[in-house]
Structure 1
Amino acid sequence: MTAEPTAAVRPRNRRQLIVEAAGRVFSEHGYHAASMEKIAAAVGITAAALYRHFPNKYALFAECAGVLADRLVAAVDEVPPGAELPRVLTAVSRVTVAHRAAGGLYRWEARYLNRVDRRVLRARFGHVVGRVDGAVRRAHPLPRPDEGLRAVAALGAIGSVTMHATSIAPRRAEDLLTASALGVAATDPAAHRPAAHPVELPDRPVPRTRRAEILAAAVPLFARHGFASVTNEQLARAVGLAPSALYRHYAGKADILAAACLQAAGLLAQGVDRSLHGVAAPHDALRALAAAYVAYSFEYTALNSVADGEVAGLPPELRRPLVLAQRDHIAVWEQQLRLARPELDPRGARVLVHAGFGVGVEAGRRLGWRDSPDHRGAVTALVVGALGL
């Protein structure tokens, strides 16, 4: 006699499992490339079952963003008011590392929220920034207000772990990120030390061919609206072509995006090479690298945001050269950081390099990418602080 087969039992926390899986899919693939079918497969259910919990992809996306933000709010609110800065930052690091795979959707994908949901999300993050800013100002008071710049930059260091796949033990990651954020908080942005040599960036590319004109017109459109939202008609109109004429210059829209990302990588590599010329000491090399990265970010803000935020939308064959270029760039930083701090292993150094990048992005955003020598110097100082120098 055989036992009757038991019916599958639906988990009581299925909605939570869906949100967890969806956050990972949105973070990895981006909002537009993440389908309900991919999310359902990640949960191990059918798309039809997924629609019983969420009416559409946007509703699921908005809940993912809200849940992750609520976790950060809860983490800082569990810390007593007036707590010391390390305790506040440790709480943020612990939550961020625990939900690392889903955290990447905040950096670029939150732009796809509607105005109301975006306002709610901004308020939640504003609460977190406010708690961190209060702890930063108590620990390291400045003679002048920094408008939350150090707090935002410190959170950028911690949040950077959601943007890369370096394999590292969670506790080790928490310790490194907290230490990096503490280094940022202890930095006076107005007391920056200039690099030994002035930053010399390559000149802006001058479009001299129709192909180059298309690329130059595409970058601000991608930066403003997002790659997936820009149509071939918009691209063609920007350069005075019929949409069908684009295919004489590029095989498709993804090829234009790949060309933009490769252009960004090339300009950054040239800036790094020029900045490191004649620099020998590791500490000076890292300051030169930070200054070059920050100068590039301010000079080519739209191009950098496209290269950083849209690469997930590329098919693997177009993405691979960009990944290799990024690895080469990170390897330069990693080598100099390990010379300056021999106690770091390769993974730890890589985590801190990415923390520096996160600081650059979030501090630049906080300043509205308003370009000036003071703003470049302040952000450079904060990036150097993130490296623990």
Structure 2
Amino acid sequence: MVLRPPGPATRPRNRKQLIVEAAGQVFSERGYHAASMEEIAAGVGISAAALYRHFPNKYALFAECADVMADRLVAAMDEATLPDVLAALIRVTVAHRASGGLYRWEARYLERADRQALRAKFRQVVERVAELVRREYPFPGEHLRAVAALGAIGSITMHHTSIAQRRIEELLLASARGVVGADPATAAGSAGLVELPAQPVPRTRRAEILAAAIPLFARDGFANVTNGQIAQSVGLAPSAIYRHYPGKVDILVAACLQAAGLLAQAVERSLQQAADPLLALTAAYVAYSFEHNALNSVAEAEVRGLPVDLRQPLLLAQREHITAWEQQLRTARPELDSRQARLLVHAGFGVVVEAGRALRWQDTPDHRDVVTALVVGALR
């Protein structure tokens, strides 16, 4: 018997698909700018040179990742009934949980034409869900309820709570159906229950720099904002920034810590002498999200890109916030265990993000009330 030397390894036929899956996960976890082609290539088990044979640059790969996820959601629209469509969307999202969150925060880094094409596909999904919502729950606001339900479903991509896949799908379906069937009248007047801590008034140059940087980070993304832009907005020379912050990342950390502090105060105030603690907590979170939208979006979108040592205190604050929610939800629904409660809490957060965006974050009592009702629907 003659032994032959092993031949070259066979290239898998689905290598491009494997690359897109690995890249989507890296982009979702680390953010577009922090991700590298070398890291993505390592995740697939190939060299960076081999990766460039499939995609000419990081942007092309990023755009493909966002497009593929949107196409998967569009393909789930073939079902005939609202429960079946929601279940199909949930299956797709859960199956691609590690990479499915790409569109929520990172899509702003797409070029205009690509961003418009992606929005058109998501619009197709929303319109189909809204059509089915209108049939099953024929009262006003079907578009907003559809968007909010998709926010509840998409929330699974934004955290790592571990539950059996079948149970995840059951919980998300119940949550999404609770959203689309929510009656805004159930939370009427909830905005009047909330007394938020005031936005800090910038009284020092350091505070002025922070206040100027937050809307820039929210609008353009942390990586795209320069110290020169921040300095110009407060009438300083770029070099003067360094007398107050060692670097741009330190401004971002300060913004995230400010968001965490204001949110903690809002939670504490909402739970004092509340007749319905879960409703009070929900109303406070919704009010905070509207009133401090730029600050909150920066903290949510950019914390993943921070160095590990700078991220730890922020992650600790996030865990404490989730724990407060978990306790209130399990009091209202004792059949839930802690992981199930956390999953639903994140679903509620997803509702706020997507419903708030749909309402363009226009802060009115009516908007706060309706979003509060949608979140309560997701939780209860």
TM norm structure 2:
0.97
Residue number in structure 2 paired with 1:163? 158
After TM superposition, give the deviation of residue 191 of structure 1 in Å.
4.5
Report the Cα distance in structure 1 between the residues aligned to 2:107 and 2:191, rounded to whole angstroms.
38
C-alpha distance after superposition, 1:260-292 (max 9, x if no partner): 00100100110111111112x6xx111011100
- Is the contact made by 1:197 and 1:275 (CA closer than 8 Å) also made in structure 2? no
Percentage of identical aligned residues: 73
Report the residue type matching 1:115 in the other structure.
R
The answer to which of 164-173 and 183-192 deviates more is: 183-192
Give the RMSD, CA atoms, in angstroms.
1.3
Report the Cα distance in structure 2 between the residues aligned to 1:38 and 1:321, rounded to whole angstroms.
26
SS at 1:108 equivalent: helix
After TM superposition, give the deviation of residue 35 of structure 1 in Å.
1.1
From 125, 130, 133, the equivalent of 2:127 is: 130
1:27 aligns with 2:66: no
Report matched runs for 1:46-61 at 5 Å.
46-61=47-62
From 298, 321, 325, the equivalent of 2:317 is: 325
- Is the contact made by 2:28 and 2:100 (CA closer than 8 Å) also made in structure 1? yes
1:109 aligns with 2:106: yes
After TM superposition, give the deviation of residue 196 of structure 1 in Å.
9.8
SS at 1:23 equivalent: helix
Report the Cα distance in structure 1 between the residues aligned to 2:316 and 2:232, rounded to whole angstroms.
33
1:194 aligns with 2:189: yes
Report the Cα distance in structure 1 between the residues aligned to 2:179 and 2:356, rounded to whole angstroms.
14
Residue number in structure 1 paired with 2:86? 89
Report the Cα distance in structure 2 between the residues aligned to 1:28 and 1:36, rounded to whole angstroms.
14
After TM superposition, give the deviation of residue 3 of structure 1 in Å.
3.9
Report the residue type matching 2:157 in the other structure.
T
After TM superposition, give the deviation of residue 190 of structure 1 in Å.
4.6
Residue number in structure 2 paired with 1:316? 308
- Is the contact made by 1:190 and 1:374 (CA closer than 8 Å) also made in structure 2? no
Report the residue type matching 2:313 in the other structure.
P
After TM superposition, give the deviation of residue 242 of structure 1 in Å.
2.2
Residue number in structure 2 paired with 1:233? 228
Residue number in structure 1 paired with 2:251? 256
1:222 aligns with 2:217: yes
After TM superposition, give the deviation of residue 64 of structure 1 in Å.
0.6
**Unaligned 5+ runs, structure 2:** none
- Is the contact made by 1:197 and 1:288 (CA closer than 8 Å) also made in structure 2? no
Report matched runs for 1:340-355 at 5 Å.
340-355=332-347
After TM superposition, give the deviation of residue 257 of structure 1 in Å.
0.4
1:5 aligns with 2:6: yes
- Is the contact made by 2:191 and 2:365 (CA closer than 8 Å) also made in structure 1? no
C-alpha distance after superposition, 1:340-388 (max 9, x if no partner): 1111011100000000000011111111111111000000110111002
**Unaligned 5+ runs, structure 1:** none
Residue number in structure 2 paired with 1:74? 75
C-alpha distance after superposition, 1:2-43 (max 9, x if no partner): 541231111111101000101001100111111111111111
From 353, 362, 373, the equivalent of 2:365 is: 373
- Is the contact made by 2:148 and 2:352 (CA closer than 8 Å) also made in structure 1? yes
C-alpha distance after superposition, 1:52-85 (max 9, x if no partner): 00011111111111100000010112x13xx2x2
Report the Cα distance in structure 2 between the residues aligned to 1:277 and 1:197, rounded to whole angstroms.
15
Spell out structure 1 runs of 4+ moving beyond 4 A. Answer: none
Report the Cα distance in structure 1 between the residues aligned to 2:12 and 2:273, rounded to whole angstroms.
62
TM norm structure 1:
0.95
